[in-house]
Amino acid sequence: MNSIFDGQLKIEVATASGIEAVTKRELTRLGYEPSGANFGRITFDGTYTDVLRANVFLRTANRVRIVLDSFKVETFDELFDGISAIDWKSILPRDAKIVVDAKSKNSKIFALSATQSVAKKAIVNAMTSAYHCTLKECGEEYDIEISLLDDVATVTLDTSGEGLHKRGYRTYLGDAPIRETLAAAMIELSVWNPDRPLIDPFCGSGTIPIEAALIGLNIAPGMNRNFACEKFSFAPNVRNVVQDEAESLIDHDRTLKISGFDINPEAIKLALKHANRAGVQDKIHFQAMDMRDVSSKLSHGVIITNPPYGERLMDEAELKVLYADFGKMTKGLDEWCVYVISSYKAFEKYYGKKADKVRKLYNSELECNFYTYLGKAPKKVKK
């Protein structure tokens, strides 16, 4: 029997708005030729092994899907016919549990629950006639998405399962933790490299320092978890191949200068647990400390941080004082570059300095700014 997983596939990577270029760069580094970056979706061509590699290696993507088909559609009849034309027997086993989701933007079809039921009916009809039996849907789950954009329907199959931000190390939730994928994107957007010191003075449960340590040691973020596609009946078992590749790339002996501080000792306990689960506990210095007391003898380091925004953690008056004190603290590290994410629009005013660059990013649904402050250039050493 021919399965689609044995041939060439069109693979779609979903990423957050504002970080498409970072995810594209990651795909290029993995050896692919990504194209498009519409509404946080990037595509590339590859095999099923590449689907698994994308899931295991991408640090900033939300999920990886296989594109099953894409067609122009303006009516539900056209939608039914387009979905029926897909060779479902080469994708789904007869006991597949079929879950259909729908999205619509700028399209004549916009009723999402009607789109879901028409699509599900088309798939079930096609499967019933292909297998000559009624479907029980008692097996593994297959998540199909119908995404309508400008009257074009794109039908995809999810391969990730749980979102890719779930690396498996963060099981204990701290106060307002940042997503692992966003933390990795902030690091990728900074000038940090593993030879430079890094401090997160508001580290909470440790996400930014841990993601930096994973990057520094070249540990693939998806190594310690499984993906939905590993349970697909017709997919080849190539997890070992991808896992061996990931293992072989780890640089266990690399020395890193990464520190995380937080005023709350409970947050530091969580950060230590998470670092331990991620296997990077020996590479990060975590300490309970008010950021006002944080300093460093090292030069040309990088601060990457996610301070309180005032949304949940403190009131506005306290926030203004905190940002002003943070500005004073970083004045003592004038050779360091500082990167801050905050949804508080007047951040620069209270921090006391206009940023060299401001980029819009989203922390979950919350619109934030990512402020870049470049440090003083290194002094030229006379020969």
Ligand X SMILES: C[S@@+](CC[C@H](N)C(=O)[O-])C[C@H]1O[C@@H](n2cnc3c(N)ncnc32)[C@H](O)[C@@H]1O
Whether residue 371 contacts residue 340, with contact meaning beta carbons closer than 8 Å, is answered with yes
Query: In the bound complex, what is the minimum distance in angstroms from residue 34's beta carbon to ligand X?
Result: 28
> Which one, 227 or 347, has the nearer CB to ligand X?
347
> Which one, 103 or 320, has the nearer CB to ligand X?
320
Among 66, 92, 178, 275, the residue binding ligand X under the rule CB under 6 A is 178
> Which one, 72 or 292, has the nearer CB to ligand X?
292
Query: In the bound complex, what is the minimum distance in angstroms from residue 349's beta carbon to ligand X?
Result: 19
> Which residues 335-364 are close enough to bind ligand X by CB under 6 A?
none
Whether residue 33 contacts residue 89, with contact meaning beta carbons closer than 8 Å, is answered with no
Among 82, 209, 307, 375, the residue binding ligand X under the rule CB under 6 A is 307
- Binding of residue 216 to ligand X (CB under 6 A): no
Query: In the bound complex, what is the minimum distance in angstroms from residue 338's beta carbon to ligand X?
Result: 15
CB atoms within 10 A of CB 46: 21
β-pair type (366-373, 337-342) = antiparallel
- Binding of residue 296 to ligand X (CB under 6 A): no
Strands (E) located in 236-375: 258-262, 284-288, 302-305, 337-342, 357-363, 366-373
Transcribe 205-221 into DSSP letters.
TSHHHHHHHHHHTT--T
The total number of residues shown for the chain amounts to 383
Q: Coil, helix or strand for 342? A: strand
Q: What is the Cα–Cα distance from 106 to 223, expressed in whole angstroms?
A: 38
> Which one, 6 or 325, has the nearer CB to ligand X?
325
β-pair type (302-305, 337-342) = parallel
Residues whose CB falls within 8 Å of the CB of residue 379, separated by 6 or more in sequence, listed in order: none
- Binding of residue 291 to ligand X (CB under 6 A): yes
- Binding of residue 290 to ligand X (CB under 6 A): yes
Q: What is the Cα–Cα distance from 148 to 110, expressed in whole angstroms?
A: 8
> Which residues 24-63 are close enough to bind ligand X by CB under 6 A?
none
149: closest CA among 73, 80, 77, 82? 73
What six digits make up the tokens of 116? Answer: 């879901």
Q: Could you tell me which stretch among 87-95, 127-135, 231-239, 303-311 binds ligand X (CB under 6 A)?
A: 303-311
Query: In the bound complex, what is the minimum distance in angstroms from residue 262's beta carbon to ligand X?
Result: 5
> Which one, 112 or 313, has the nearer CB to ligand X?
313
300: closest CA among 159, 193, 206, 202? 193
Q: What is the Cα–Cα distance from 103 to 241, expressed in whole angstroms?
A: 35
Side chain identity at 164, as an amino acid letter?
A: L
- Binding of residue 224 to ligand X (CB under 6 A): no
Whether residue 324 contacts residue 352, with contact meaning beta carbons closer than 8 Å, is answered with yes
How many residues interact with ligand X (rule CB under 6 A)?
Answer: 23
> Which one, 155 or 208, has the nearer CB to ligand X?
208
> Which one, 201 or 216, has the nearer CB to ligand X?
201
> Which one, 187 or 322, has the nearer CB to ligand X?
322
Query: In the bound complex, what is the minimum distance in angstroms from residue 254's beta carbon to ligand X?
Result: 23
Q: Coil, helix or strand for 165? A: coil
Among 21, 30, 124, 263, the residue binding ligand X under the rule CB under 6 A is 263
> Which residues 118-177 are close enough to bind ligand X by CB under 6 A?
174-177
Query: In the bound complex, what is the minimum distance in angstroms from residue 351's beta carbon to ligand X?
Result: 14
Q: Could you tell me which stretch among 58-66, 94-102, 191-199, 257-265 binds ligand X (CB under 6 A)?
A: 257-265
Summarize as ranges the residues that interact with ligand X (CB under 6 A): 174-178, 201-205, 207-208, 261-264, 267, 290-291, 306-308, 322
